Structure 1
Amino acid sequence: MLFKTRSAAVYGIDAHLIDVEVDYLGVPLEREVFAVVGLPDAAVRESRDRVKAAIKNSGFEIPSTKITINLAPADLKKEGSGFDLPIAIGILGAYGALAAMEMQDVVLVGELGLDGTLRAVQGMLPVAMAARAAGVKHLVIPESNAREAAVVEGIHIWPVRSLLEVRELLNSFAQGGQASLLQPLQVDSRAMLAHAEEGVPDFKDVRGQHVAKRALEVAAAGGHNILMIGPPGSGKTMLAKRLPSILAPLRFEEALETTKIHSVAGVLNRDKGLVTHRPFRSPHHTISDAGLIGGGMNPRPGEVSLAHNGVLFLDELPEFPRNVLEVMRQPLEDGNVTIARAAMSMTFPARFMLAAAMNPCPCGYYPDKERCMCTPPMIQRYVSKVSGPLLDRIDIHIEVPAVQYKELRSGQVGEGSAEIRDRVLRAREKQHERFGLAQRGANPKARKVFANAQMSTSDIRQHCELNSEAERILERAMLQRGLSARAHDRILKVARTIADMEGQESIAVPHIAEAIQYRTLDRGYWS
């Protein structure tokens, strides 16, 4: 007898529905033959032993015969342990242990324990979104995956704990839903986002560093990358960790997109089920290029993708291997990462703010001649670990000096994140109006420009016009410092952001002058 169920496979950060066809030979055999076809990986092939034990320990007896499971379409590779549940249900249905019913409206995903209990799998949010897009009514999944999938509206999410509960639920579907005590899970994901800001580090804890705080505010307002240079203990890491607190709250669409990436990578907090804060990722400098960008035999998202819609903080920037830093060029420019393999090519989103920090020299105390003992060649070798093309892609370079004792011991509380974020949001609102963000939702093919930092060359020409005096200041800076064309565009983007923060339509002299001051490394910092 042939019995069909439906499941899903995750590729990249998207899922595709898979038909699971189970057929058995009616002639008893001395030894059971269990074949899985349709490009299964090792985890799917091993499911036969888990499935047989789970069925037996759930109280069902399957006679020894030949069982063939086909995962269609057969030309897509099937990975992971999530096919355990649909295969087990297909076997029970083929042997008549389920009430006859149409399974096209049900998708089943889950790993089985040997005792028949269900365990969580990765990538459940993309599965729920794919099932909804295909018009499926019911998604039956492990209880620990339920909150993650329930943020998707328009589909019934059924959390189950064992194979027996799934059988009971499916039999109730065949009877019109009258026999089951289970209820679909519902969560108010928008309410979760509304309370997302609790417990975030606040800028009011920072003593002094008014220039650095201003630079971070500008960076947040325009989505600009920023590099902080200063001695150990000056507060670079403390400042960077508070950067997400002044960014705009996640929109629901952004939260879903971010959660998909975290779900596929297996780092999602399943108790919440939704990423409600803008991510802040801070990988150690020993990370590999595959760990930062993503990769592996079956490509998985890296740190740049896990920081999507948030902040990627690279502390001790020169300590990262140069080849690791160089692979960030593409995501910094394009906002995505494409990983190509012989059998497949996957693209992961990677639109993030880069916040980096570094010491000015190996000992960290340059230019304090009393404390710094580094020679010019030592400093040059240290600084040259970060390439010029990478520095060109960082809009703001700011010096973070050591905090003075009086500022450190001052009882005066600094400006908090709430006040700074209000100004950031006002500047972002002007950018949304400029780039037509409100109208873009109806046009999915529209170019995605959300902030000044993402402006193209044509956008810069259109929105960053200078008067004659500002033009002379920029020209003088370009000639004296030998700035590149990319640095020229970065200065104009930052100046446009500063003007937005001031509520000005045109870029004035103070705006362009401040933007030039944020190019510390172009001013011959080590000369």
Structure 2
Amino acid sequence: MGDLARVWSVALHGVDGVPVEIEAAIGGGIPGVHLVGLPDASLQEAKDRVRSAIVHSDRTWPNERIVLALSPATLRKTGSRFDVALAVGVLAAHRTIRSERLHGTVLLGELALDGRLRPVRGVLPCLLAARDAGMRRAVVPRDGLAEAALVDGIDTFGADTLGDVLDWADGLRELDPAVPDVSRGPAPAAPELADVIGQADARHALEIAAAGGHHLLMVGPPGTGKTMLAQRIVGLLPELDPAEALQLASIRSVAGPLGAAGPLPRLAPFVAPHHSASAAAVLGGGSGVARPGAVSLAHRGVLFLDECPHWPASVLDALRTPLEEGEVRLARADGTVRYPARFQLVLAANPCPCAPPIDRDCTCRPDVRRRYLARLSGPLLDRVDLRVPMYPLTALSAADEPGERTATVRGRVLDARAAAVERWSAHGWRCNAEVPGTELRARFPLPRVVVEPLEKRLEAGELSARGADRALRVAWTLSDLAGTDRPDRAAVDAALYFRHRGAA
């Protein structure tokens, strides 16, 4: 009878890894393989993959009763990343390989029938969880080495086949280690803001949005630069700090292997799904444990929805919760997962379905125009801080007068962001858009004469309480851009100007 062996792997629950202890026991009954510990269907299929991979690695499959227990038993185990750990556990229990190197080692990877190691999703968050649990080493498929190199504090090695892993466990060979890429190199260049011709109001709104983390809606006919402006906002945003970059990389890793990741990208993400994307693609979904969607891939960056009136109303309205809470919760039969989703929403829309270059050429009936933009619900628009109309270019001479360059505007944005951080960091907020309205009014009240325009709009029913709070946040951003200590009445008037402009 073989001995009992223990090996380690990691399960994923959202972007959080949970170390899983795999116990392998051999003997004591009719030959067969029994998996216990809430394995899903893909993990149940691992029995056939593991057996074939062991045989094709020139090792003997024990023709006995094999029990493989995955603990914690109450956590649903999904995916194929446990294959290597299961195979090594079986052979360690059968005393076919030595087990000294397996202590404190996490094993990740899917097995092909011939013993090759295939890449798996979530290597990065798995290794982070293993490191935090005190594991010393990890073995991953070679294709995951670049991703594994992003995690320090744990020795990670890459293997091509199960035979390589088994020879390493026996001390017959060494595996290639993950080598961190410490060269930062030049950051990828963001699109240049000066390429956008004219549109002074829209450029100013873009600067305000970048400085305060505010949501933005641009309405105008095709060819006025809506998409160009949206793409250029990431060049104005501050770089992600190491913790944010690692969190974003973990989300991307869960969505799919990072591949040749290199150094952690520090540029804020820009995600622009097509309007035909499903709710699962935008919010996250899939069978079993839901995967992250576009809102999570845009975490700490920008989610751009072009042609937003063409989006299904159900998808647009579903954005309201992550816009308020900064996370998305996805409930499935296998459990509820949470993914971070703190993003800036940038919307672009044509003024009507026919969208002629010049508004006077519109052939749409008035009721059609109203219904077109009415597809954006009131509750969603109430969460959009800045709304700006865009007009066609009417003079070619404007092309000879380029606007400010990205570097110039970014300097003002970073100064405004620094002022906001200095003011709010003690309270746990980093930009004006994150500050709750109650805290803004209670801890930093403004004189009655300054907020009088807001109160008049509230009394007239032209502004909701949420809208007033959002306008107040924009006023603080305008104050930061102007270099003043707090907003004056002109800043509040400007915030309302941007909130009520445009057809929306």
Report the TM range for the smaller structure's normalisation: over 0.9
Once the two structures are TM-superposed, the CA of residue 129 in structure 1 deviates from its matched residue by 0.8
Once the two structures are TM-superposed, the CA of residue 199 in structure 1 deviates from its matched residue by 3.0
Once the two structures are TM-superposed, the CA of residue 274 in structure 1 deviates from its matched residue by 3.7
Once the two structures are TM-superposed, the CA of residue 477 in structure 1 deviates from its matched residue by 4.8
CA 1:243–1:269: 2 relative to 1, 3 Å: farther
Once the two structures are TM-superposed, the CA of residue 343 in structure 1 deviates from its matched residue by 4.9
Match of 2:373 among 360, 383, 388: 383
Residue 243 of structure 2 corresponds to residue 253 of structure 1: yes
Aligned to 1:470: 450
Residue 141 of structure 2 corresponds to residue 156 of structure 1: no
| Map 1:43-62 → 2, pairs under 5 A | 43-62=42-61
Aligned to 2:224: 234
Residue 479 of structure 2 corresponds to residue 488 of structure 1: no
Whole-angstrom distance in 2 between the partners of 1:23 and 1:457 = 58
Aligned to 2:430: 450
Whole-angstrom distance in 1 between the partners of 2:451 and 2:332 = 48
Contact 2:144 2:257 in 1 (8 A): no
Where 1:246 maps in the other structure, the secondary structure is coil
Cα shift readout 1:192-251 (whole Å, capped 9, x = no counterpart): 4x64x3232121221222221111011000000000011111110111011111100010
Cα shift readout 1:258-293 (whole Å, capped 9, x = no counterpart): 111111111634443744321111111122222222
Match of 2:24 among 19, 22, 25: 22
Q: Which amino acid aligns with 2:421?
A: H
Q: Which amino acid aligns with 1:305?
A: S
Whole-angstrom distance in 1 between the partners of 2:459 and 2:351 = 25
Aligned to 1:443: none
Match of 1:184 among 177, 182, 191: 177
Where 1:436 maps in the other structure, the secondary structure is helix
Contact 1:208 1:407 in 2 (8 A): no
Q: Which amino acid aligns with 2:311?
A: F
Aligned to 1:109: 108
Q: Give the TM-score of the pair, scaled to structure 1.
A: 0.90
Residue 352 of structure 2 corresponds to residue 353 of structure 1: no
Whole-angstrom distance in 2 between the partners of 1:500 and 1:491 = 14
Whole-angstrom distance in 2 between the partners of 1:393 and 1:240 = 18
RMSD: 2.2
Whole-angstrom distance in 1 between the partners of 2:484 and 2:261 = 45
Whole-angstrom distance in 2 between the partners of 1:246 and 1:463 = 29
Once the two structures are TM-superposed, the CA of residue 507 in structure 1 deviates from its matched residue by 1.0
Cα shift readout 1:325-364 (whole Å, capped 9, x = no counterpart): 1111111111111223455222111100000001112222
Gaps of 5+ in 1: 173-178, 438-446
CA 1:407–1:25: 2 relative to 1, 3 Å: farther
Q: Which amino acid aligns with 1:302?
A: G
| Map 1:320-469 → 2, pairs under 5 A | 320-365=311-356, 368-369=359-360, 371-407=361-397, 409-410=399-400, 412-436=401-425, 448-462=428-442, 465-467=445-447, 469=449
Residue 278 of structure 2 corresponds to residue 288 of structure 1: yes
Q: Which amino acid aligns with 1:329?
A: R
CA 1:56–1:407: 2 relative to 1, 3 Å: farther
| Map 1:136-147 → 2, pairs under 5 A | 136-147=135-146
Where 1:61 maps in the other structure, the secondary structure is coil
Aligned to 1:503: 483
Once the two structures are TM-superposed, the CA of residue 182 in structure 1 deviates from its matched residue by 3.1
Residue 117 of structure 2 corresponds to residue 127 of structure 1: no
Aligned to 1:440: none
Q: Which amino acid aligns with 1:502?
A: A
Residue 296 of structure 2 corresponds to residue 305 of structure 1: yes
Aligned to 2:166: 167
Q: Which amino acid aligns with 1:15?
A: G
- How many residue pairs are counted as aligned between the two chains? 501
- Tell which deviates more after alignment, 180-189 or 79-88: 180-189
Once the two structures are TM-superposed, the CA of residue 104 in structure 1 deviates from its matched residue by 3.4
Contact 1:340 1:346 in 2 (8 A): yes
- Tell which deviates more after alignment, 103-112 or 243-252: 103-112
Where 1:397 maps in the other structure, the secondary structure is strand
Contact 1:247 1:421 in 2 (8 A): yes
Whole-angstrom distance in 2 between the partners of 1:262 and 1:348 = 11
Aligned to 2:7: 5
Aligned to 2:89: 90
Q: Give the TM-score of the pair, scaled to structure 2.
A: 0.93
Contact 1:141 1:160 in 2 (8 A): yes
- Tell which deviates more after alignment, 134-143 or 45-54: 45-54
Q: Which amino acid aligns with 1:506?
A: R
Whole-angstrom distance in 1 between the partners of 2:80 and 2:56 = 19
- Tell which deviates more after alignment, 161-170 or 263-272: 263-272
Cα shift readout 1:416-457 (whole Å, capped 9, x = no counterpart): 2122111111111111111126xxxxxxxxx64221011112
- Tell which deviates more after alignment, 69-78 or 98-107: 98-107
- Tell which deviates more after alignment, 225-234 or 163-172: 163-172
Whole-angstrom distance in 2 between the partners of 1:436 and 1:199 = 29
Whole-angstrom distance in 1 between the partners of 2:378 and 2:51 = 59
Once the two structures are TM-superposed, the CA of residue 13 in structure 1 deviates from its matched residue by 0.9
Q: Which amino acid aligns with 1:487?
A: G
Whole-angstrom distance in 2 between the partners of 1:342 and 1:65 = 34
Aligned to 2:195: 205
